[in-house]
């Protein structure tokens, strides 16, 4: 864990405050894509969060957990148990 913290600090210094959002988005996209591929291969219980149309708030979209399967989104879990 200390190595990860040190590397993160070094990366921040090297970037001089630039690029951290880009790295975060790239990681999130890679993680979501990996989960989609697992679901497409038939792995059960794949859950990822995504911004989806929602009536939980006044906002038109809200981040909610989704259960993925071979056909895409099997169910939006919203505030229910996963």
Give the C-alpha separation, 50 to 33, whole Å: 12
Q: Is 3.40.47.40 the CATH classification of the domain at 2-76?
A: no
pLDDT tens-digit series, residues 36-72: 999 999 999 999 998 888 887 888 988 889 999 999 9
Reported confidence tier of residue 11, pLDDT bands at 50, 70, 90? low
User: What pLDDT is recorded for position 65?
Assistant: 92
Domain assignments of the chain as residue spans, ordered by start: 2-76
Q: Which residues of 47-80 are buried (b: 16+ CB within 10 A; e: fewer)?
A: ebebeeeeeeeeeeeeebbbbbeeeeeeeeeeee
């Amino acid at each position: 864990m200390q190595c990860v913290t040190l590397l993160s600090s070094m990366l921040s210094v090297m970037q001089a405050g630039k690029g951290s959002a880009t790295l975060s988005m790239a990681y999130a996209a890679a993680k979501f894509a990996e989960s989609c591929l697992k679901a497409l291969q038939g792995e059960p219980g794949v859950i990822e969060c995504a911004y989806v149309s929602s009536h939980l708030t006044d906002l038109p979209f809200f981040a909610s957990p989704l259960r993925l399967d071979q056909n895409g989104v099997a169910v939006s879990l919203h505030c229910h148990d996963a």
